[in-house]
Structure formats: structure tokens, C-alpha cells
Amino acid sequence: MKSTLSRLGVATIVSGTILSTLAPLQSYAATSEGTVNTPILNVRSDSSTSSSIVGKLTEGTTVDVYAVNDEWAQINFEGQKRYVSSTYLTIGSSMSTASTSSASLYVAEMNVNLRSSMSTSASIETVIPKGSLVTHVSTHGATGSWYKVQFGTYTGYVAARYFTETSPTFYASTTAVLYDKTGTGASKIATIPEGAKVTYLESLGTTGSWYKIEYGSLVGYAPARNFTPTPLAPEAVTTYYAVKNVALYNGTGTGASKIATIPLGAEVKRVYVNGLSSSWYKVQYGDTVGYAAARNFSTSKPEAVVKTTYYAVRDLVLYESSASGAARLRTIQEGTKVVQVSDANLSDSWFKIEYDGVTGFAAARHFSTKAPEEVTITPYFAIRNVAMYSSSAAGATKVATIPFGAKVEQLSQSGLSSSWFKIRYDGKTGYAGSSHFSLKDPEVVVKTDYYTTRDVVLYNRSDAEKVKIAIIPFGTKVQQVSEPGLTERFFKIEYGPIIGYATADYFSKTAPSDEQYEEERQVRIYVDGNEPLNVRSTPDSSSTTNKVGTLSTGTIVNIKPIVGSKWALLTSGTYSGNYIHTDYVVPVTTTPPATGITKKVSYTSYPMTARQMADRQVAQFAQTDAHRYDEAYLPRAWVSVNGSTGKIVKSEMTVVSGLGTALKMTASSSSSSLVTIPYGASIQYVDRYTSGSTVWYKVKYGTMTGYVTPSSVVGTANILSRPILTSHAYGQINTGETVTITGQSGTYYTISYKRPAGHNIRVFDNTWRRASVDDLLPYVDPSQIDANSRSFYQFLDLSKSAGTTATTLNKVLTSKGTLSGQGQAFVDAASMYGVNEVYLLSHAILETGHGTSLLATGVPVDKDGNALINSSGNRIYPERPVAATVYNMYGIQATDSNPLGNGAKYAFQQKWFSPKEAIIGGAYWIGASYINHPTYKQNTLYKMRFNPSSPGTHQYATDIGWAAKQTTSIYNIYQSLDAYTLNFDVPKYQ
């Protein structure tokens, strides 16, 4: 039967939480979007879960409601008052506590869970991030404690206490693009400037990352990150000036359009905007407002541009900018008129130049305000070969050689010293000494390059009365000088500073092999331990492919030693035409009478074992080339690999400079030091920086960051002899260096690496690797060295004379250039300074390339001792007269950076004006440095290398085989003497 009760309200069955308080009779409205946890709701006869169930309601059903509290609602069910759980009712709009507003906008005050129903146990649809916007759909619960909201593509329920209602008015926090839709393929419909006001309509996307907004009359879509509900701060304005022509854009983003050009010096107003990148300014130029790069403006008004007329004083290059490496625009010829444009920001050493419609930059020193004078051209002829230089200043670069007899144009130039000519030759302009030219055309003399095809005797004349003045070694390049009337059998020859005559048949225009050979001789193969000697197709032991066979110790062969080398060409036997190393041969000579040779052996005891000696040498770092062909292993964890190239990434490094190393503020030796990092300290590699040819490491030491040199530090990445961390380390590699990956063994790579110049000797090298104790023992233990072998001569007492004569030594010095006939000088030097004459002779032969080096043949110097020839023997500084010719037979002070110049200057300071003076004077330096040193007294090659009295200090070399290798020449010389005395000083270990 239908109820006669009046209809007091409606309700829809939904999922939700229990209403917290009893409410007066209300009207409840259904919402179509709510979800239901329990699709079937029980209708009971009373407000108790134990009462009988009188019916069921399905989701979405609308009912009349009479009363409601936290647990139960009284409803009209089939005309009867019945009860249902109030948890599943959505409050209608007629009740003040359950108003709905589809236009309300709320902001999350923290991260909030969006749930499927009004229960903290309901499933979480998504998490709404703090600060995100949601659209309010309806309010639920007697106290409105739940909101139904829309967030992006989600609709669900949130706790109302975590949200605050906000205005739909927003502001662009930066320049933003308005699109016609979201996603791929969206089209731009407008640009919203920074600070512009928009109206928020709704959030889109699964995370609300897009807003649908109204901007003016347009409705579109834009990323939510570009908007804020807070208006931007009031704009401030400052006056600026353009320091160059500046492009003004309508925005700062990619794709912004140019709207104006602000000229150099123009005044603009900078408008300060919150959130704008520091690299951009918002500026007003006239009535136009836009954006421009900040670097193009200054608060100081630039000075007025001044243009000045200048003239180029030489040919010069016009560059695109004054920066290093700038592109070349064109060449401006000497005398050209240009306009110099003032530029307040430009260095004084540069001019900004306008020329032929082009603006560029050039060095200021190349211009003058004076117009060039009219040049007078006078023809001259070179009366000798003349070097032409880039300028008349000291240190100028040689640009050409003008041959004898060549016609040149002498160009007048005011202010030029009378000792110089400015000349033009073969299209080139330069400077040369005026004394080398004549107005008269000299007799034409033709000079032709030739090469000797054998050792050639040079005579002072070509007739029967001729006298030998020199021997030109095989393969030497000389010049044949034409001379009318000279018979075809003879050539007039220029051989360095010597001019003479020689048989024409002994010369060829074709250069022979670069190798120059000594006289053929017979030798016996001798390798310590009776090992065989490798025969190679080329004179190179670093190659792994040139080995053609071996020769057994004791084999007798004929050889031609290569001048200035430790290699020899085999001229007999199966391997004739191939090469062997001369460290492993001894002369085959007739044994001199026993009475002519005296051998004395003494022993010096040291308080250590031979192994302890080897241990000390390893601690000081000793090198060997014995493992050059062995695999070298690097843990894979310490290297980053790209193809066959690996980069060391182990960042730890150690200071190995004995006095520590300066941590520089910048990558420059002249930079201030932050601190001196002590020896053994650990540092962290950051980066590398190259200044010219100098490499610096940027490192971190404690809290400080600065720069150190590669020679003062070593990386901690060990290169190992076997693929195991505890194996012997051949050396380390610095962080950031690259190696070549040659293979892989488990967790190790095999690598190849050449130690760069300037790196510490502890750094690994393919050829020169750190020696182990086992490597060292055969070299430091005298008991392992045969007393009758060549190697035993490393114990020869070099402070004692060989007791030989000048006549005997002169036999050895035959065909040794300026050393020839100097036997008495070596005997005198030995007597005066207590240095073995055979050792001195051997040292001189090695250093001078058998008496043929420039330091041996004589170097002309000026009054200050500066060399007047270069390393090629060509004359330099022609304006300087020759003050003396100096000689240096032992290469003393001939440092790697400038061997000829430094060696000649030292010889000048010592007054070595003849070969004899250089031989005797140099002997003092050799004796004082090691052999007769008052503290170290290193009177043998062994002591020079290992210094057993104080191992690890004042040692001559790091190669463990150095002392044995130096014995070859000394031993060979002794074997060629008729009579001599041998004094040996042999270490004796415990």
C-alpha cells in the first residue's frame, strides 16, 4: 500500500562515509558521477543492523528522505518509513552543508590521495601534488568533510581539510604559448606575455599538467607550469644604453620573432620582471617593448665614435675579431689607406678597421697616421747565398734563401739601418744584410748538390802537389762548385766551412740511404748468458715484425757500423744486408803481448746484500726496456672505453715531486700559488687544460682547487705485469690520459701507451717500464757478471789512466773528423784531471758522432757567445760579426731545448777555441761532476748508475742496463790498443 506521508526530500544511493551529526529533514539530490562500493543497499525496518531487511535499493535509485544522522537515514520505501545506512547517500543541493558548485576552484595544500569513494580505506586513484588545482564537483558528509573533485582526467573524493578555495584568475609567470589543443599536433594560436592575466577553466592530463584557459577572447590550452595565481611584482625601470647594434625580440623562447633593431648608443628602459632569466632584459625602446640579450647593454653611455685615417705600414691580415683564432677576412697591402673606428672596449694593441666595405680587426702596430713615402726601387745582385728575414729585428723568421747571383729589388725605407736592405725577391718581401749585395752582376757560379758514394779524401788543390785536408764520410751531402778550366776528373767541393777538391767519380746526385757507415770490421757476437742475438731487417728493436733470425754467441761476422748509431749492417754470412745491435759484439783482434797488458782488480765492501741493493733501487724507481714486448694489464674498472681507445677515470693522484708542488690559481707558471702540496699527498683530478704546448691538471686538494704540472704528480692506476692486482706494476697512468686497448683478459684490458714528454718518469711507457727486483739483480750483483766479459768494464776505475800513448790513441781516432790526431790532448786531459783517457775518448766519439757534429767541427759565435749558425749549419744573424769559433767535444750543457746554442755558449764562456782546449777543458767538468766528486766519488760506470755508497742518490741514469751499455765503446777501444793497464774497482756485498 502506498504511503500517505508527504515527500520531504530525495536521495540517491552512493558510496561514502557516515554523516557525523543528526540533521533536520533535508532534501538530498543525486549526482550522476559518484561511484558505489556496495551496489546493493539493504532497507531495514528499524535503525539497527540487527533489524529485518525489508527490501533492497540499487545504485542510482532516488528516494525521499525524512531525517538523517551519522549512521542512519529515514526514507520513504514503498509508502513506509524505513531505514538505510546514511553512508551511501549523496547530499542534495537544497541542504546548506552540501552545496555544489561546478565553477569552484581549489588548491591542494599538500600531496593528497584522490580516492574512489568517501573512505580512507577506499582505493587510491592518483596522488594530487601539493599546489595542484582541482575543480570542485560537490561536497559530502554532514559537515562537508569530503569533496568530490575533478583533477585532470580523474574524478574522485578527497578530504576537504587539505584544500583551499582559490580564484580562477591566473598570471603568466613567463612568456607562454597558447595552443588549440593538448598533445602532438597542437597548433599555436597566441603568445601570452609574461605577467598577462588569464582565466582558469579546468585542468587536463593525468597529472593536471595542462590548463584550459581563457585569454582575452581566446580559449585554449597551455602548460600549467607557466602560470601562477599570484600577480607579478610591480615593474621597476632603469636606463641602459646599447653597446652595439642589438636585435629586439617579442619573447625569450625558441622561435621568438625579431621586432626591432636598437642601434649602438641608443637609450632604453630596462623593465624588471620576476622570473626572467639573467641573460635577458625586458626593455622599452621608444614605444616598442620586447626582449634582448643582457650582455649588449651598459648603464654607462658609450662615448662618441671617432674615426681616424691610418695607413698600413706593411702587408697585414684583417681578422673577424680580436680573439685568438679569429677568421681571416682579407689581406691589406702595405701603404693602403683605412679608417680606424674607436671602440672603448677594445685593447690598445688592436684597431677596429673599416676597409673596402668590410669592418674587421688588426694589430695597432701595423698602422701609421703618416702616408707612406714614395718607394725607390734599386736592382741589386746577391754576391753569396743570402738569408732573407721577416724583419730586421733580432729573432726574425727566415722566409727565403736568395742564391748567389740572384737579382733582387732593394726597396727604400726611411728609418731602416744602413746595414740592412728591404728587398723583394721571387714575389716575397723581406730583409737581408746589405753587405751581401752588389750593384754589379757577379760572375755566375753554379752550385750543385751531390752525395758521396764512399769515404772521400778532400784535397787543397787538384794538381800533383795536392795535400789531404779532410775525409768526407760516405753519404755526406756536399755542394759541387763550378770552376772554369777544372778537369772533369775533379770536383771543387764545399764541405761545411771547408772548400777543396776531390775525385768526381766518388759523387752522385742521388742521395744514398740515410745511413752513413764506418769502415768494415770483423766482430764476434757476445751476449751475456750466451743468449742468441736477434738479426733485424731494419735498425729498430722496438718493432715486433722485423726479426729475420738470430746469431749464436761466438759467431764471427763482418759489419759496417752506422755512424752515430748503435746498429751495424751485416756484410757477410746468411743475414748479410740485415742489422744487429753493436752492444752485443766485441772486436776480433790479435791478442797483444801479455807484457803489454796489466789487469788489476780491487774490491770495495758495502754493508748490504745484493738483494737489499736491488730493493733500494726499485724504491727509487728504476727502468728497463727488457719488457717492451710483454703484455701490460689495466683493471677494466679504472678505464672508460670507446672502441679501441680508453680514458683513465681513476681520479686519485699522488704528488711525487720531492719538494712538493705548487697549487697554482690558474694554468700558468707565473700565476700565484694557493699552497705547496707536500710530497706524497693525495689529490683529486678534476680536468686538464692545455696552454700552448703545456699541459696542466686541474685538481682538488682538500677544499682548494687549482692547477699542477703533470711532471709533479702521478696517477694511482697501476699498469700491471700480470692480470692480477698484486702483480708487479710497470708504472702508473695519470687520470684523464688515453690509452690504446689491444685486448682483454677477464676483468683486465691489455693496453699500449707512450709516456708523453713532461710527465713524471714513474708514468708507464711501452718501452721504458719500471724494473722489478728480479730485473735488477743481474745488473747490481757483480757475482753475476763474467770477469772476462765486456760488461765487466763497468767496474773500470775511470779515475786512473790507461797508461797508453798518444800514438796508440791516434790509431783509434783515424777518420774521426776533428778528433783525428788529438790523442795527445786526451792523454794530457787524463793526466791533468784524473780521468781515464780511454773513457774520455769514448765519451767524445759518442757525443760528436765520430767527430762530425757541429759542436765538434766548430760553431761561430758573436761577442756574447751566441751561436751564429742554426742546427742545419746555416748562418744566422748576418749583421753580427763572428767573434770566435768554439768547440764542445763532450756535449756539455748541450741541453735538449737548444743543444747547439747552449753548448756553444758554454764553450765560449770556458774559452774552448780549439778542439784541444775543448777536450782538455771538458775533462775537468766530467771528472768534477762524478768521477772525482768530493762527496760521491763515483769512479766507475757502475757507481755512476747505482751509487752503492748511497743508493738512490746522485745517480746518472734510470735505465738499469745503462752502465753495461756504456762499456761497448770503451771495451772496443781497449781491444784495439797494443798496450794498456786495466784497473777495476768491484763492489762486494754481504
- Out of 102-111, 270-279, 588-597, 736-745, least confident range: 588-597
Output the pLDDT for position 70.
65
Higher confidence at residue 522 or residue 745? 745
Average pLDDT over residues 828-857: 90
Amino acid letter, 680: G
Calpha distance 870→720 (Å, rounded): 44
Q: Is the pLDDT of residue 984 over 90?
A: yes
Q: What percent of the chain has pLDDT over 90?
A: 37
List, in order of start, the domains of the chain with CATH numbers.
Answer: 11-97 (2.30.30.40), 100-166 (2.30.30.40), 169-228 (2.30.30.40), 237-298 (2.30.30.40), 307-368 (2.30.30.40), 385-438 (2.30.30.40), 447-508 (2.30.30.40), 521-587 (2.30.30.40), 623-770 (2.30.30.170)
pLDDT in tens, 473-525: 777 889 998 876 677 788 999 988 789 999 888 888 877 665 667 777 888 88
Q: Residue 39 pLDDT more than 70?
A: no
Q: Where are the alpha helices (DSSP H) in 742-814?
A: 773-780, 806-812
Model confidence band, residue 593 (pLDDT cutoffs 50, 70, 90): very low
The pLDDT-based confidence of 641 (bands split at 50, 70, 90) is: very high
pLDDT score recorded for residue 301: 81
Judged against a pLDDT cut of 70, whether residue 551 lies above it is answered with yes
- Give the per-residue pLDDT at 2: 32
pLDDT over 80 (residue 896): no
Could you read off the pLDDT of 763-809 as tens digits, one per residue? 999 999 999 999 999 999 999 998 888 899 999 999 998 888 888 89
pLDDT at 103: 53
Amino acid letter, residue 816: K
Mean of pLDDT values over 305-332: 89
Residue 485 has a pLDDT of: 66
Least confident of 64-73, 218-227, 873-882: 64-73
Computed on alpha carbons and rounded to an integer, the radius of gyration of the chain in Å comes to 48
pLDDT for 788: 85
Distances 237 to 230, 271, 283, 291 between C-alpha atoms, Å: 21, 5, 9, 14
- pLDDT tens track for 121-152: 899 999 988 888 888 888 888 788 889 988 87
Q: For all residues of the chain together, what is the average pLDDT?
A: 84
Which tens digits make up the pLDDT trace of 432-444? 998 888 887 766 6
Q: What pLDDT score was predicted for residue 583?
A: 84
Bridge pairing between strands 437-438 and 428-433: unpaired
Tell whether the model's pLDDT for residue 594 goes beyond 60: no
Nearest to 364 by CA among 422, 307, 322: 322
- Of 799, 815, 833, 798, whose CA–CA distance to 967 is shortest? 798
The one-letter amino acid at 982: L
User: How does pLDDT run across 659-677, given as a tens digit for each residue?
Assistant: 899 999 999 988 999 999 9
pLDDT score of 734 more than 90: yes
User: Residue 89's pLDDT band (boundaries 50, 70, 90)?
Assistant: low
Residue 10: beta bridge partners? none
Whole-number pLDDT of residue 525: 87
Alpha carbon distance 345, 243 (integer Å): 9
Q: How many helical (H) and strand (E) elements, i.e. helices and strands, does the chain have?
A: 11, 75
| pLDDT at 60 (0 to 100) | 66
Asked if residue 16 has pLDDT above 70, the reply is no
What SS3 state is found at 675?
strand
Q: Is the pLDDT of residue 210 over 50?
A: yes
- Residue that wins the pLDDT comparison between 821 and 34: 821
Q: Is residue 376 predicted with pLDDT exceeding 70?
A: yes
Whether 92 has a pLDDT exceeding 70, the answer reads no
Distance CA 830, CA 798 (A): 10
**The amino acid at 268:** V
pTM: 0.44
pLDDT of amino acid 983: 92
| 656 vs 634: CA distance, rounded Å | 21
* pLDDT tens digits along 304-314: 777 889 999 88
Measured in whole angstroms, the distance separating CA 968 from the mean position of its chain's CA atoms is 41
Q: What angle do CA 408, 413, 419 make, to 5 degrees?
A: 70
Per-residue confidence band for 13, with pLDDT thresholds at 50, 70 and 90? very low
* Spatial CB neighbours of 527, under 8 Å, sequence gap ≥ 6: 533, 553, 584
Give the residue-averaged pLDDT of 748-768: 92
Average of per-residue pLDDT across 396-422? 85
| Whether the predicted pLDDT of 379 surpasses 50 | yes
Q: How far is CA 947 from CA 344, 623, 923, in A?
A: 65, 16, 21
Q: Tell me, what's the pLDDT at 438? A: 85
Which residues in 520-630 belong to E strands, given as ranges? 521-525, 533-536, 547-551, 556-561, 567-570, 579-581, 585-587, 597-605, 623-624
Phi, psi of 852 (to 5 degrees): -115, 0
What is the rounded average pLDDT of the residues 45-73?
76
Q: What is the pLDDT of residue 41?
A: 77
Distances (CA, A) of 523 to 554, 581, 691: 9, 12, 51
Residue 885, pLDDT above cutoff 50: yes
